Structure 1
């Protein structure tokens, strides 16, 4: 085995990288014997650029998966050929339907330096932010496919960071959400309300619900992650929980 594909080197690098990333990350090493895990990981790599090209050139011989308690995952891979460093890619959630990914840009992976401390800075300043945005979009899409927003209904969905997201149907609902602290993403059309202060969040949702109701628009909550919302944030009966899809995403 070429020294660049040394299992101890990859595993050690991933361990240090996990400890340096913002948040609570752990690392799991998959050697060449883990054929099923490596095959599944290849299918779930969320990339159509650098990492996809590398996987087409050289199938996975080993990998390390960085995982966060909310389900986010990153894959650390060897670079093909004689090149130094590693590749890192986002991993698509396995419990969301394929349709949720439609219209969402892949958070393509990046090449990492041999120094895991510098590598962590690269990930935090680039890939991680794009991955978080893509995750929020597909999770919202999955919820919206179960309970889509309609002209007389706005559905709020909980995000892993405690924020709420919605795609308002119509300018009236959009204006109400914006008035009560929801911030619009101009690229996706998704409105988000921070969960940094749950008291402020609950008050904003309650006020928005009352104003929407005055316009004949209902407000409902989705709980795709099983989170239970504070009673104060339920202006209408909560929508049913989103079922977990069994179909894996295809690349």
Structure 2
């Protein structure tokens, strides 16, 4: 049975916590009936220590998610060890590729006092600093392996998962890429997945034509730069080998 009192306590605690953290944060409560949202949150929690152990023994029934203006997220959870207070964990961004998390030390969560004002001091003095470092590293990694574009040429770089990526991209070129299915991630990289090769090829062809009309060339390259630039790629061929890289958190 859903414990309404505990739900209100969690939501209220998270609201106060969000208002006390540095920068601008909002708080959103996820109730037990939103099972898909809770499952997605568990999959994104960036922890291999205290919070991961708690979730291994106690499936997530509810949570509050704190979101910063830049998209960073923190999850506030109930403790289940007979102690007062809550747990808080960093949440990995949704829009970065799996390889972005390689070789990054997890910003493991912490236990919080039952007082949200003291809890905010704990978060600001510990978890937030480690989380921001990990986010910076992940976003940097996401931009690696992408041949840089120029003002007059967008370079589309093959990714290990068969997708394509382009960065940096000007406003006009970015608008064209977005119109043709590319998604801008939190690192500023425009990405097009390779799940459907035919759709991918059409998107690259159409984007190439539209960019060409703006006087912007396009090129297809591997991260090593081994493929010679092409003025406008007519068809995007899938790379010979797709390497599946699992994100470790």
Q: Where on the TM-score scale, by shorter chain, does this alignment land: which range?
A: 0.5 to 0.7
State how 1:145-160 maps to structure 2 within 5 Å: 145-147=145-147
Structure 1: gaps spanning 5 or more residues: 149-220, 227-240
Residue 122 of structure 2 corresponds to 122
Structure 1 residues 9 and 242: CA distance shift in structure 2, 3 A:
same
8 Å Cα contact 1:4-1:78 kept in structure 2: no
Structure 1 residues 18 and 223: CA distance shift in structure 2, 3 A:
farther
Residue 69 of structure 2 corresponds to 69
8 Å Cα contact 2:7-2:62 kept in structure 1: yes
Question: TM-score under structure 2 normalisation?
Answer: 0.61
> What is the aligned length?
165
8 Å Cα contact 2:19-2:26 kept in structure 1: yes
Structure 2: gaps spanning 5 or more residues: 149-165, 172-187, 196-245
8 Å Cα contact 1:88-1:110 kept in structure 2: yes
Higher Rg: 2
Residue 190 of structure 2 corresponds to 243
Question: TM-score under structure 1 normalisation?
Answer: 0.60
Query: Secondary structure of 2:145's match?
Result: helix
Q: Which moved more, 1:80-89 or 1:16-25?
A: 80-89
Shift of 1:223: 4.5
Name the CA distance, whole Å, in 1 between partners of 2:192 and 2:28: 24
Residue 80 of structure 1 corresponds to 80
8 Å Cα contact 2:167-2:190 kept in structure 1: no
Shift of 1:80: 1.3
| Aligned-pair Cα RMSD in Å | 2.8
Structure 1 residues 48 and 245: CA distance shift in structure 2, 3 A:
farther
Residue 203 of structure 1 corresponds to none
Query: Secondary structure of 1:61's match?
Result: coil
8 Å Cα contact 1:4-1:84 kept in structure 2: no
Name the CA distance, whole Å, in 2 between partners of 1:72 and 1:42: 16
Residue 47 of structure 1 corresponds to 47
